[in-house]
Structure 1
């Protein structure tokens, strides 16, 4: 009888341990699968076309090509831009001669500065899907496919009918870069290109730096991998990808490349399997612990009642 009671106790013990073993195995598999799902832009070894991308970004002449959905900040001056070069301060800086030009409805928007205010004399015009831009006085002008310098020449010829010796400046005002991953303490940011010569390191600095890469980042829940930064460029259906390592000077030289509008930069977070597994199984562990405690109490009460009888 004593041997039977001991056997029952061992059986009850293993029955209580079995859910914990199954839970641990399930959570480890789930954590590994979730970790793979949370890793963006995984490479299969054939996607990282580093040589072509380096040749593309290191070419001598880099001129942005105007594309549909771009916003162009266009300013027209007379007398070869006399109002821009004004050493005596007698002219209004940056304002088109003869006052502002009325903007047709639905063709553009007022340019805003970094602080959200309105710039004097600045107006932005949308490049439509067909490549045309509707401008005051000259009407529709096709600018898609031109560089900014070529667009200046085209607009100069069109405004030459209305002004003497026009001087035109064109600038794309909505160029930006998308940053994802462990950067700046957030999951994603959109960084505006303040100039055409920004490089990768400048963009990372504007985004707040790689998580965990500074003293203030110590103790944060997420740390970025400086040896696995992915620069994605071109058509998203067939992008060019370069993996950059900032942990070495060789990687620094490679990373000192200029970024282009619509680039995607992804900094992969450092994976911590143990802490991620603990975080994943903590809710389930609490439930199973409660059920196991309840089952143990019921079993011992039933055994005690049988012994008393």
Structure 2
């Protein structure tokens, strides 16, 4: 195991994490964070703070006020301000945003909602196609996390697993080899909340080339079929 940061691009990792998280299915006992904005979320994209200048210091204080977390109860419901009890268990975070925007539209003009999962979790990317694994036990090992994500398939490079720890603009990156007994014995034993695990997928050039060419082949085939049908008229 050794640190390596040369081929980790923060923007790419952040985008992959976002995609994985928005598809996370909300479950009972989860804690979520819900932010509600009006007018399509214009306050979020206020780079010059013009809106805050217009509304004064009080709005600025409201903006910096901590946003509480909300517990998904055993029946899948959660109690949120103004709208009361709503059922969110079973929804993805993205679907939760859409659902809550409709609920808050009863009170606000063009609401924009951001739902976040705030439990301790680990993100698994790469060959697993992006998953959020709740970290229920802080003594969980890398092998256990990989097992929870579905394990390593034939499409995974067991010798090239990256563990990304810390802020993405300056992370610690570890290269882990699980293809050998020696590599497994040297792996990081304890996974920390917020860790990102990247399992490099096996590249198969021929199938990928065929997949990329499929639309072109389909278009050519359709064109030839059309020409032949016109010739028979």
Indicate the structure whose relative CO is greater, using CA pairs within 8 Å and at least 6 residues apart: 2
Q: TM-score, normalised by structure 1?
A: 0.37
Specify the structure having the higher radius of gyration (Cα). Answer: 1
Q: TM-score, normalised by structure 2?
A: 0.47
